[in-house]
Amino acid sequence: MANIILLGPPGAGKGTQAKRLEETRGMVQLSTGDMLREARTSGTEMGRKVAEVMDRGQLVTDEIVIGLIEEKLTRGAAGGFIFDGFPRTLPQADALQSLLARMGQGLDAVIEMRVDDAALVARITGRFTCGACGAVYHDATKPTAVEGTCDACGSHDLRRRADDTEDALKTRLMEYYKKTSPLIGYYWAKGKLVSVDGLAEMDHVSEAIAKILDKA
Ligand code: AMP
């Protein structure tokens, strides 16, 4: 069992790798982005505010995301947790450490997925996903075999995220460099940081992550 963080800018491939780890290792993906996208459909005042902040590409408050994570952590995961898109700030990182310590657990590795900005813009602006099964596609590099139909489950519910536009992406990248990238030094100092080349072919990234987990 291992608890890991996938750390990297939007579009680095964290979600794709997290889904693969769920399938191959029985780990549980905790994506605060997915949780917030669910919360915004609740029709509450909180959901409406969250939607506005997300669509601009800014970060939601620490209190909200820490609350969401806390609720999921208490359910436990036999194969361990994959934190995807969390923590994104130093206070979130401290909160995670306390929450895990309370459960008698810790972090086994923080995997930094390195990519350059130009690649991120290309990856993100062509991205779409299946609303039914979560499969991820891309206009240029991974289109569906039949237009408008998910290869994996046959659903026609293919969606683009409201914040996958060039404008929102610029804000998301700025937020990443200002508030999230300090976590690289934070986890390096704790001896937890391992970096992988996020621009490598998807299977090679998975192999690199598997090696890290086998050592953890
Ligand atoms: P993601 O799906 O991880 O790219 O997250 C999408 C959006 O959700 C981000 O741009 C933020 O607005 C919000 N979000 C997700 N995770 C966090 C977090 N840990 N802290 C603050 N905001 C978050």
pLDDT digits (tens, 9 = 90+) for 82-137: 999 999 999 999 999 999 999 999 999 999 999 988 888 888 889 999 999 988 89
Distance CA 134, CA 104 (A): 32
Residue 102: which H helix or E strand, with range? Answer: helix 90-102
Dihedrals φ, ψ of 71, to 5°? -60, -40
Indicate whether residue 8 lines ligand 1 (CB < 6 A): no
Atom of ligand 1 nearest to the CA of 36: 8
Indicate whether residue 127 lines ligand 1 (CB < 6 A): no
37 is catalytic: no
- Single pTM value for the model: 0.90
Distance CA 110, CA 93 (A): 11
Nearest CA-CA partner of 179 in 119, 90, 56: 90
Helix H segments across 8-44? 14-25, 32-39
Look at strands 127-130 and 158-159 and give their pairing. Answer: antiparallel
Phi-psi region of 197 (alpha: psi -120 to 50; beta: other; left: phi over 0): beta
Distance CA 174, CA 117 (A): 11
Task: Give the model confidence (pLDDT) of 47-82 as tens digits.
Answer: 899 999 999 999 999 999 999 999 999 887 888 999
Using the mean position of ligand 1's atoms as its centre, give its distance from the Cα of residue 146 in Å: 31
Task: Give the model confidence (pLDDT) of 169-183 as tens digits.
Answer: 899 999 999 999 999
